[in-house]
């Protein structure tokens, strides 16, 4: 299996190289040269399989000879061993045709654990074999950073530095980043906002001398390894509702388009998915694009679903690549236009996107109302991101079972939940001592040189 860039100008890579590289050198994102399909019999055989066995069946065709079957099975097993639910991704029924896929039973209580735990294992295995080590640097508004630190802590071949905006992440998110005690993970609280953190990371990747010196690697949501790991729960949940003999639909609370794009891959692999519904909060670039065909940037408004507060949706480029029949030059041109504020998608490509994705948006009031009503009607406490999803899903319910992805545990966003319901959701028992663990964090100015100096001083090359 070979991997190509959405902009058509970067070297073709193996799975291992694409995973370790993250962003392609031409600025594009890596995708498999062709999407492997599973037969109806292969999908039917997933009924009754463990999550881990389904994960192996779904991902195996994508990884080429990066890992042997036995080793890959072992890595999958280790990745999900710390999850707090035997099903890993259990399905809960809300209404006769509406289901909730709980993706928050991982160690940091958000769906990002599904991908991050697995790529932590895959990075370590690949690097141990080659004798290399890397420095992972990432920016976070909360969930990605905690998931990365949890996944990589204590591993030998990686140092991890996570930049977060000082004072602007929730207390649970901060503690999840500052309490791991292992020497290879470092939380850096930057005096700035999330955009400053992201700009600093970008600058470090563009500083080729530094990049080389510390062997910089990235695990943000454009990493193909992360998208791939997220394809699995579309299969596990759909099969438990009767696929491949019955169609299902999904509604996905989305920011960077990573999670919903994984659903698109599942569909291309042969999973009978009827609707893929994009659910956004008021930062609705994706909803607007699907309504109008114009992809235009607007400022970011802070919401109670902060993990979806984005201005540019990085993984959307992958969908565009397919919409333009894998024409990298056209995608590169449109991405260039984005620097000027936006671009118009051509008629044919727009039609493909409209045929593939539906969409909806939830206001802040609608999000709070959804949290309140699902608690009143079903006794379910939803995190605000999930509530954006259920609100949008309701407009798309029909004869086909709808699965809404529950992307975080309500206890990760207690303020929004208690404001809507009067109930403060407790942390699961296994992390009830989070507030008692000692914190370790380095406060740093919003200056590239300062941040780079700390990284150079701390790494164990
Ligand atoms: C990251 C995140 C999202 C958005 O996921 P994308 O892959 O960026 O679309 C939604 N909800 C929660 C809780 C998240 O952490």
Tell me the pLDDT tens digit for each residue of 414-441: 999 999 999 999 999 988 899 999 999 9
Q: Domain for residue 440, yes or no? A: no
Alpha-carbon distance of 375 to 386, in angstroms, equals 13
CA of 105 to the centre of ligand 1 (A): 15
Nearest CA to ligand 1 atom 7: 258
Q: Domain for residue 407, yes or no? A: yes
Which of 132-169 are b and which e, b meaning 16 or more Cβ less than 10 Å from the residue's Cβ? ebbbbbbbbbbbbbbbbbbbbbebebbbbbbbbbbebb
The arithmetic mean of pLDDT across residues 58-86, rounded, is 97
| pLDDT tens digits along 351-409 | 999 999 999 999 999 999 999 999 999 999 999 999 999 999 999 999 999 999 999 99
Tell me: pLDDT of 238 over 80.
yes
CA of 130 to the centre of ligand 1 (A): 32
Q: Residue 336: which residues within 8 A CB-CB, separation 6 or more?
A: none
DSSP string, 282-329: S--HHHHHHHHSEEE--PPPP-SSGGG--SS-TTHHHHHHHHTTT-HH
Which of 82-112 are b and which e, b meaning 16 or more Cβ less than 10 Å from the residue's Cβ? ebeeeebbbbeebeebbbbbbbbbbbbbbbb
Positive or negative torsion for Cα 376, 382, 388, 390: negative
Percent of the chain with pLDDT over 70: 100
Nearest CA to ligand 1 atom 8: 256
Atom nearest to 104 CA in ligand 1: 13
Atom nearest to 386 CA in ligand 1: 11
Q: Residue 31: which residues within 8 A CB-CB, separation 6 or more?
A: 3, 4, 5, 6, 224, 318, 321
SS3 of residue 153 by DSSP: coil
CA of 385 to the centre of ligand 1 (A): 8
Ligand 1 first shell, C-beta below 6 A: 110, 112, 143, 221, 253-259, 307-308, 385, 407-408
DSSP 113: H
Atom nearest to 142 CA in ligand 1: 15
The arithmetic mean of pLDDT across residues 166-188, rounded, is 93
Q: Domain for residue 417, yes or no? A: yes
pLDDT for 199: 86
Nearest CA to ligand 1 atom 9: 254
Alpha-carbon distance of 218 to 370, in angstroms, equals 35
The arithmetic mean of pLDDT across residues 134-138, rounded, is 94
Pair 42, 365: CB distance under 8 Å: no
Q: Domain for residue 332, yes or no? A: yes
Atom nearest to 112 CA in ligand 1: 15
Q: Residue 321: which residues within 8 A CB-CB, separation 6 or more?
A: 6, 29, 31, 327, 328, 331
| Counted domains in the chain | 1
Atom nearest to 259 CA in ligand 1: 7
pLDDT for 194: 83
Distances (CA, A) of 168 to 147, 377, 415: 17, 33, 14
Q: Domain for residue 45, yes or no? A: no
The CA angle 323-406-196, to the nearest 5 degrees, is 70
Domain coverage including residue 249: 91-110+224-421
pLDDT for 191: 96
Please give the model's pTM, rounded to 2 decimal places: 0.96
Pair 109, 428: CB distance under 8 Å: yes
CA of 286 to the centre of ligand 1 (A): 14
CA of 104 to the centre of ligand 1 (A): 11
pLDDT for 453: 97
> Best mutation site among 112, 313, 383 for ligand 1, i.e. most ligand atoms within 8 A of its Cβ?
112
pLDDT for 461: 65
Alpha-carbon distance of 62 to 52, in angstroms, equals 16
The arithmetic mean of pLDDT across residues 199-209, rounded, is 88
**Looking at residue 265, which CATH number applies to its domain?**
3.40.50.1100
Tell me: pLDDT of 187 over 80.
yes
Q: Which residues are catalytic?
A: 112
**Cis ω before 48 (30° cut-off from 0):** no
> With the CA atoms of 252, 258, 260 and 264 taken in that order, what torsion angle do they form, in degrees rounded to the nearest 10?
-170
Token readout for 193 is 């906002």
CA of 260 to the centre of ligand 1 (A): 10
Residue 446: phi and psi, rounded to 5, are -80, 60
The arithmetic mean of pLDDT across residues 244-272, rounded, is 97
Q: Strand 185-190 and strand 216-217: pairing? A: unpaired
């Amino acid at each position: 299996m070979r991997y190509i860039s959405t902009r058509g100008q970067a070297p073709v890579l193996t799975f291992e190289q694409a995973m370790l590289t993250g962003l392609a050198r031409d600025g594009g994102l890596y995708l498999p040269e062709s999407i492997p399909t599973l037969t109806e019999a292969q999908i039917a055989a997933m009924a009754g399989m463990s999550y881990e066995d389904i994960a192996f069946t779904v991902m195996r065709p994508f990884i080429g000879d990066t890992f042997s079957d036995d080793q890959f099975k072992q890595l999958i097993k280790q990745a999900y061993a710390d999850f707090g639910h035997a099903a890993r991704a259990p399905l809960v029924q809300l209404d006769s045709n509406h289901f909730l896929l709980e993706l928050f039973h991982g160690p940091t209580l958000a769906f990002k654990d599904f991908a991050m735990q697995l790529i932590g294992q895959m990075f370590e295995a690949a690097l141990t074999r080659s004798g290399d080590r890397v420095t992972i640097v990432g920016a976070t508004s909360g969930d990605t950073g905690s998931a990365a630190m949890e996944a990589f802590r204590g591993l030998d071949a990686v140092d991890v530095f996570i930049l977060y905006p000082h004072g602007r992440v929730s207390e649970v998110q901060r503690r999840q980043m500052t309490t791991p005690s292992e020497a290879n993970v470092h939380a850096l609280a930057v005096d700035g906002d999330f955009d400053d953190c992201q700009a600093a990371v970008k600058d470090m990747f563009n500083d080729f001398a530094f990049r080389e010196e510390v062997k910089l690697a990235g695990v943000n949501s454009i990493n193909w390894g992360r998208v791939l790991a997220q394809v699995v729960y579309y299969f596990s949940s759909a099969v438990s509702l009767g696929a491949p003999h019955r169609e299902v639909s999904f509604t996905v609370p989305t920011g960077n388009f990573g999670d919903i794009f994984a659903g698109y891959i599942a569909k291309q692999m042969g999973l009978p998915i009827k609707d893929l519904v994009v659910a956004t909060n008021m930062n609705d670039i994706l909803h607007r694009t699907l309504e109008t065909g114009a992809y235009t940037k607007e400022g970011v408004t802070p919401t109670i679903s902060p993990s979806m507060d984005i201005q540019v949706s990085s993984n959307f480029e992958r969908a565009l690549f397919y919409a333009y029949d894998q024409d990298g030059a056209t995608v590169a041109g449109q991405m260039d236009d984005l620097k000027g504020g936006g671009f118009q998608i051509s008629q044919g490509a727009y039609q493909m996107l409209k045929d593939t994705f539906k969409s909806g948006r939830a206001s802040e009031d609608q999000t709070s109302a959804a949290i309140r009503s699902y608690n009143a009607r079903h006794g379910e406490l939803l995190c605000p991101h999930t509530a954006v999803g259920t609100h949008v899903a309701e407009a798309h319910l029909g004869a086909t079972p709808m699965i809404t992805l529950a992307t975080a545990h309500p206890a990760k966003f207690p303020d929004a939940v208690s404001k809507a319901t009067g109930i403060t959701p407790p942390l699961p028992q296994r992390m009830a001592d989070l507030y008692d663990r000692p914190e370790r964090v380095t406060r740093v100015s919003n200056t590239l040189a300062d941040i780079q100096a700390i990284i150079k001083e701390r790494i164990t090359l």
